[in-house]
Amino acid sequence: MAQHFLTGAELTPSELSSVLARAADLKANRAELAASRGKFAAKTVALIFERPSTRTRMSSEIAVHELGGHPMVLSGETMQLSRGESIKDTALVTSRFAHAIGIRTGSHATVETLAAEASIPVFNLLTEEHHPCQALADLLTLQERFGTLEGLRLAYVGDGNNVTASLMVLGALAGMTVAVATPDGYAPAPTAVELAESVATAGGAVELTGDAQQAAAEADAIYTDVWVSMGDADSEAKKSDLFAYQLNSALMSHAKPTAIALHCLPAHPDEEITADVLYGQQSAVFDQAENRLHVQKALLEHLLG
């Protein structure tokens, strides 16, 4: 039976540790790996994008290429999906051609249906509910900075969106405390909280609060994301609600002196994060972006063996 990666909860703690360790090795030996290019010889990975993408598309396409396979990039609007072909039929047909499917789409149910009907691995490149490949890169970044994940405190401030959900799930799985601070009405989905709590290992926990300073207190890292996510209406009211949750130097002062600032990008400087923090000495934001490539390669190796 094919192994999928839809929320991150599919991994065991040892598998998560193995994927991150392999990502670190792939990063350290990128030139040697690119020279050999034999890992995925004769393998094709279908990459379906129904939503705009920069880092996800580049990291996925380059990952397959550097492993020696063929990335088949497909736009939703140029596929028969745009004319009403079912996800089931898409899964059945693509399983006859490719060796794995990555998809970036809206409804999480689309990914679940694709995985249920496909006979090859399916991995989630973003849905409205989860963004697990991003969270893998975030954990690799934290592991690089602090040497370990177990016992770290990660504060997330802002809108409780798909990134928040994946940070909770994979952070709890890794033995971290993920403290999420959101205003009323913006808390992460209860189902995401329940999923994170169900996979939490010893030391892993999720904390929910309305107080950004409380979440940030003695944190090893503070994370934020855009206030208006892809597919959301650009609302001035929402920006106003979230303004007190801006990641700025004042908030960073509540974290440990060694704390880092994280953001999954794209960023809107001086909205959800101030420019001085985004580009400052404590920022690890662009390490996160680079690490998307290395975790993508490690994940593909894990799923395809």
Q: 176: number of CA atoms within 13 Å, CB side?
A: 29
| 292 noted as active-site residue | yes
The catalytic position among 55, 130, 131, 153 is: 131
The catalytic position among 108, 153, 292, 302 is: 292
From residue 168, alpha-carbon distances to 81, 130, 156, 220 in Å are 32, 10, 9, 15
| 55 noted as active-site residue | no
Q: Residues 40-83: pLDDT tens digits?
A: 888 999 999 999 999 999 999 999 999 999 999 999 888 888 88
Q: Residues 230-279: pLDDT tens digits?
A: 667 667 899 999 999 999 999 999 999 999 999 999 999 999 999 999 99
The catalytic position among 134, 143, 282, 288 is: 134
Amino acid identity for residue 53 in this structure: S
Query: Cα 46 vs. chain centroid, distance in angstroms?
Result: 19
Q: Residues 110-139: pLDDT tens digits?
A: 999 999 999 999 999 999 999 999 999 999
**Is the pLDDT confidence value at 34 over 70?**
no
Query: Helix, strand, or coil here: 45?
Result: strand
| 145 noted as active-site residue | no
The catalytic position among 130, 264, 288, 294 is: 264
- Confidence (pTM): 0.94
The catalytic position among 225, 246, 294, 296 is: 225
The catalytic position among 104, 130, 153, 294 is: 104
| 133 noted as active-site residue | no
Residues 6+ apart with CB under 8 A from 51: 104, 105, 106, 126, 230, 231
Domains of the chain: 13-130+292-304 (3.40.50.1370), 134-288 (3.40.50.1370)
Quickly tell me which residue has 């490719």 as its tokens: 98
Query: Helix, strand, or coil here: 244?
Result: helix
Q: 52: number of CA atoms within 13 Å, CB side?
A: 5
